[in-house]
Amino acid sequence: MSDNNFINLRCNPQELALIDALAKQRGCTRSEAVRIAIRAGADPAMTGLAVDLRRLILLVEYTQAAVDIIVHREHADVAPEIEAIANERMEEFHATR
């Protein structure tokens, strides 16, 4: 592998539109948007995994709804503490860097 860290990339109009939208959303350059996209998708692509985001989000929401019902029925006194812990974990593990 060479020490050259630069690559040229050709995109179709739809891909370029996605890169531009991500760059605008994050307030970054196109190059940084491409790096963000690579970090988000390269690992699953390397393992041959594909993620169905709609299914994943539905599963997360279903699970969250079930947990909310259980906690509020059986342990309403700790519900605020659970939410605080969840928010702390969002910042620690999922915040944009």
| 29 and 59 part of one domain | no
Residue 3 lies in a domain: no
How many angstroms separate the Cα of 49 from the Cα of each of 4, 36, 44, 45, 52? 29, 18, 5, 6, 10
Helix (H) or strand (E) segment spanning residue 36: helix 30-47
19, burial (CB in 10 Å: exposed 0-12, middle 13-18, buried 19+): buried
Asked if residue 22 belongs to a domain, the reply is yes
Q: Is residue 4 part of a domain?
A: no
Residue pLDDT, tens place only, 56-83? 999 999 999 999 999 999 999 998 999 8
Q: Is 7 inside any structural domain? A: no
State yes or no: pLDDT of 97 exceeds 60. no
Tokens 């019902």 sit on residue: 69
Same domain, residue pair 61 and 89 = yes
Whether residues 58 and 89 share a domain: the answer is: yes
DSSP-assigned letters across all residues of 25-93: HHT--HHHHHHHHHHHHHHHHHHT----HHHHHHHHHHHHHHHHHHHHHH-GGGHHHHHHHHHHHIIII
Q: How many domains does the chain have?
A: 2
In a domain, 81, yes or no: yes
Confirm whether 72 is domain-assigned.
yes
Residue numbers of the domain that contains 62: 53-94
The answer as to whether 1 is a domain residue is no
Please check whether residue 83 lies inside any domain of the structure. yes
Span 22-37, pLDDT tens digits = 999 999 999 999 999 9
This prediction has a pTM of 0.55
